């Protein structure tokens, strides 16, 4: 059975997709720790990040960095956090999160009440900053 991320990539379920290329895609987290929280995911379903090829791992990191730069422009946080946890979905994903302090890397602070309109607004802002 395909992962929830693969189902987002194939458009079986909705997602606010920010980036898509032959190796990976990125979309806004529906339970963001902070506004702009984005997941970078390899297209191939691999459970553990340590099992990625060096090329795929490098490419995902390159895209995470591009998105992080767009997040800095869009949200003006103190830093951009990067985390690979891997417990929620058995498909590698990098969390790229605008942060102002360490509490912004705590999943206990995730916002499960963000609206689709807020996510769409964040997506539009990030798309503009990504294209600059």
pLDDT in tens, the chain (132 residues): 889 999 999 999 999 999 999 999 999 999 999 999 999 999 999 999 999 999 999 999 999 999 999 999 999 999 999 999 888 899 999 999 999 999 889 999 999 999 999 999 999 999 999 986
**Of 106, 104, 82, 108, nearest in space to 95 by CA:** 82
Q: Where in the chain are the domains?
A: 4-130
d(CA 18, CA 27): 5
Pick the CATH number of 4-130 from 2.40.40.20, 3.30.230.10, 3.40.50.300, 3.30.428.10: 3.30.428.10
């Amino acid at each position: 059975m395909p992962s929830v991320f693969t189902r987002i990539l194939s458009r079986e379920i909705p997602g606010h997709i920010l980036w898509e290329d032959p190796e990976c895609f990125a979309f806004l987290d529906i339970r963001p720790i902070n506004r702009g929280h984005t997941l970078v995911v390899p297209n191939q379903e691999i459970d553990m990040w340590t099992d990625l090829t060096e090329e795929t791992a490098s490419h995902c990191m390159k895209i995470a960095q591009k998105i992080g730069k767009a997040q800095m422009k869009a949200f003006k946080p103190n830093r951009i956090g990067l985390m690979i946890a891997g417990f929620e979905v058995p498909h590698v994903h990098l969390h790229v999160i605008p942060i102002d302090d360490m509490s912004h890397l705590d999943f206990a602070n995730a916002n499960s009440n963000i609206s689709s309109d807020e996510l769409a607004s964040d997506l539009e802002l990030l798309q503009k900053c990504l294209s600059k």
